[in-house]
C-alpha cells in the first residue's frame, strides 16, 4: 500500500491537472 505522503503527493498532482472550477466543486464536496 502507498504511504500517506505518496497518496497526498498524488492527490496534489491530480488537482493541479484539473480545471479550477472542477477543483472548487471537489472542495465543496470534501
Please check the confidence at residue 17 and state whether its pLDDT lies above 80. Answer: no
How far is Cα 4 from Cα 16, in angstroms, rounded to an integer? Answer: 19
- pLDDT score, position 5: 92
Please check the confidence at residue 20 and state whether its pLDDT lies above 80. Answer: no
Q: Is the pTM of this model over 0.85?
A: no
How far is Cα 15 from Cα 24, in angstroms, rounded to an integer? Answer: 10
Give mean pLDDT, residues 7-26.
78
- pLDDT score, position 7: 86
* Torsion angle in degrees (nearest 10) through CA of 9, 13, 15, 18: -170
Please check the confidence at residue 8 and state whether its pLDDT lies above 80. Answer: yes
Amino acid at each position: 500500500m502507498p504511504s500517506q505522503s505518496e497518496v497526498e503527493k498524488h492527490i496534489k498532482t491530480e488537482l493541479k491537472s484539473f480545471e479550477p472550477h472542477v477543483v472548487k466543486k471537489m472542495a465543496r464536496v470534501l
